[in-house]
A and B are shown apart, each in its own frame.
Chain A
Amino acid sequence: MLCDNCQENDAIVHLTRIINGKKEEIHLCEDCAKKSNKFKLDSFNNISFQSMLSAILNENDSSDSSFMNNNLNNNNCNSCGLNYSEFTKSGEFGCADCYLEFEDELETLFKRIHGNKRHTGKKPANIEAEKEFQAEIDHLKAEMESAVEDERFEDAAEIRDEIHEIKKSMEEDIDESKNI
């Protein structure tokens, strides 16, 4: 029997697939079988993505633990019960509150995945952005002051830049609402 694909070599790999009760037979030679993805299950892709993601997440755990003061990783999300180690395995958040629960770990993660840690795109119209922004700025200002007190000037400068970024996106929001 000749290979279904190249019609040149003898088929040595035989595959029977049943989809919706319809039987399909595939016969391939060694070369074509190697090239064919038919023998790879779809889930392989997911596993490799998931395992890569969880490798990143777990790496975060070990390398960052030295300067993480409180061990947040043991916390469970209040709303859905997911804990951080489950998250590192599945690579999926259980609910919106997980983002708050794992906040400290996520900055590094997002920076790795996206190279960024702050959203600059579309916002729902009904979001009270300004209040939230102001709360964040107040929080960061306090952090900056304590950094200055501890003479961690590099950290302070970084926080200052972050405050600057937030103010900028606030202004952009105001500009946009003017346009509408």
Chain B
Amino acid sequence: MNQKIFDNNWLVESGDEKDVVLISRIRLARNLKNHHFPNKASIVEKEEIIEQLQNNLSFLESENFHFFKMEEFSALERDVLQEKNLISKCHSENIEGKALILNNKLHLSTMINEEDHLRIQVFGSGLDFSTIWQVADQFDDQIESEVEYAFSNKWGYLTSCPTNVGTALRASVMCHLPALVLSERINEVLGAVGKFGLTVRGVSGEGSGSAGELFQISNQITLGYTEKEIIDNLKSIILQIIREERRSRLYLVNKNYDKLKDNVLRSLGILKYAHRLKENEALNFLSKVKFGLDSGLIEEDINKNIFSELIFKIRTAHLQLNNYNSQEELDIKRAELIRNSL
């Protein structure tokens, strides 16, 4: 495929509350009527579903969407798509009978024949549910006018997993919460979040460990509330978390000014001069530098968006796209990339 498409990075765009919220995301699950769900569908049926969608969704081509069968991607390209959160791990494996729709800007993706026939995802920079909901809703309407969805009046959109039934909407944000982690208030805050029907998990860097003080918060309940209620509930809790994080930052900076300043400047120093950096290491130092920039501890003139700019680029598959191969080489190139961005 055309690798230029991978260069797009909507994440560098400015967005609301971006000192705390990096990414907002909306996901809608949809299934077609009269077809088995992917877990019960044969490869032949999955291919039929892909063909049906390709034939019926004629608006895709005219509106600059790209339709790919997963076989068109190399293993490395699939890893890059996964690092960009455009596909899930499961969608990158056993690729027979699976397809993907992407828009030019790479902030809309639709996985075909993952857990459900369609998994529409829209991303936005910062806290931005009103725009991305509009995009997702409209895209869903366009598909819906061409195909018939599995829908019940009583239970809403029917999904393969009972935890998604109803609106089949998952709204989530990726938050950077260094001060809540440092002040050890994170568990208290995140525990409270659970009481409002939301779930939290650490965002993984390599493997599945959490890195960079990043957390993903999303709604758990999909049935019995409207899309607006679900999003409003999530948003109001997120605004509280943003407030708590900012309060903790102020408090920590006032209380431990010299210690914190030393800590973020050392991190900056390492990023500026290191010759080799591993992925998680880089992410953790970048997280510290972002904290330093957002809280005014770093006064140097450094691009405030550095974290968003590098968060995908420093990941292993992204670096491999440029033909860097051994781990040694990857770590050196990663360090070089970061050095040059500072």
| Given A113-B163, A115-B221, A122-B167, also A24-B89 (CB < 8 A) | no
Say yes or no for A38: interface residue by CB 8 A criterion.
Answer: yes
Q: Which of A62-70, A129-137, A150-158 contacts B (4 or more CB under 8 A)?
A: A129-137
Q: What are the interface flags for B198-230 relative to A under an 8 Å C-beta threshold, 1 for contact and 0 otherwise?
A: 000000101111100000000001111111001
Kindly report which residue of chain A lies nearest to residue B211, judged by CB atoms.
Answer: A37
Residues of B within 8 A of A119 (CB): 152-157, 165-167, 223-224
Q: What range describes how many residues of B lie at the interface?
A: 35 or more
Residues of B within 8 A of A113 (CB): 162-163, 221, 223
Residues of A within 8 A of B39 (CB): 90, 92, 94
A25 to B327, CA, bound (A): 9
10 tightest A-B CB contacts, nearest first: A116-B224, A119-B156, A94-B40, A96-B150, A114-B223, A37-B209, A121-B167, A121-B226, A80-B40, A132-B153
Kindly report which residue of chain A lies nearest to residue B206, judged by CB atoms.
Answer: A38
Extra inter-chain contacts (7) besides given A122-B157, A126-B144, CB under 8 Å:
A20-B76, A22-B330, A114-B166, A118-B223, A119-B155, A119-B156, A121-B166
User: Are B153 and A110 in contact, with the CB atoms below 8 A?
Assistant: no
Kindly report which residue of chain A lies nearest to residue B39, judged by CB atoms.
Answer: A92
Q: Which of B29-37, B106-114, B186-194 contacts A (4 or more CB under 8 A)?
A: B29-37
Say yes or no for B262: interface residue by CB 8 A criterion.
Answer: no
CB distance from A144 to the nearest CB of B (A): 17
Q: What are the interface flags for A59-101 relative to B under an 8 Å C-beta threshold, 1 for contact and 0 otherwise?
A: 0000000000000000000011110000000111111100100
Kindly report which residue of chain A lies nearest to residue B156, judged by CB atoms.
Answer: A119
User: Are A38 and B149 in contact, with the CB atoms below 8 A?
Assistant: no
User: Are B223 and A116 in contact, with the CB atoms below 8 A?
Assistant: yes
Say yes or no for A178: interface residue by CB 8 A criterion.
Answer: no
Residues of B within 8 A of A106 (CB): 155, 162
Q: Could you tell me the dominant secondary structure of chain A's interface residues?
A: loop
Say yes or no for B172: interface residue by CB 8 A criterion.
Answer: no
Count chain A CB atoms within 10 A of each CB in B37, B40, B330 and give the residue with the most. B40
Kindly report which residue of chain B lies nearest to residue A23, judged by CB atoms.
Answer: B327
CB distance from A162 to the nearest CB of B (A): 10
| Given A113-B163, A120-B225, also A99-B158 (CB < 8 A) | yes
Footprint of B on A, CB under 8 Å? 4, 17, 19-20, 22-25, 36-38, 40, 42, 45, 53, 79-82, 90-96, 99, 106, 109-110, 113-127, 129, 132-133, 136
A48 to B129, CA, bound (A): 31
User: Are A129 and B153 in contact, with the CB atoms below 8 A?
Assistant: yes
B:278-320 near A, CB below 8 Å: 278, 316-317, 320
User: Are B224 and A114 in contact, with the CB atoms below 8 A?
Assistant: yes
User: Are B225 and A116 in contact, with the CB atoms below 8 A?
Assistant: yes
Footprint of A on B, CB under 8 Å? 31, 33, 35-37, 39-40, 75-76, 79, 89, 115, 137, 140-141, 144-145, 148-163, 165-167, 169, 197, 204, 206-210, 221-227, 230, 278, 316-317, 320, 325-327, 330
Residues of B within 8 A of A136 (CB): 153-154
CB distance from A123 to the nearest CB of B (A): 7
Residues of B within 8 A of A4 (CB): 278
Count chain A CB atoms within 10 A of each CB in B31, B36, B115 and give the residue with the most. B36
User: Are A42 and B208 in contact, with the CB atoms below 8 A?
Assistant: yes
Could you list 6 A-B pairs, sorted by A, with CB under 8 Å?
Answer: A22-B320, A37-B207, A92-B160, A93-B158, A117-B224, A123-B151
A99 to B320, CA, bound (A): 45
Residues of B within 8 A of A82 (CB): 40
Residues of A within 8 A of B316 (CB): 19, 22
Residues of B within 8 A of A122 (CB): 137, 140, 156-157, 167, 226-227
User: Are B225 and A94 in contact, with the CB atoms below 8 A?
Assistant: no
User: Are B221 and A110 in contact, with the CB atoms below 8 A?
Assistant: no
CB distance from B31 to the nearest CB of A (A): 7
A149 to B153, CA, bound (A): 29
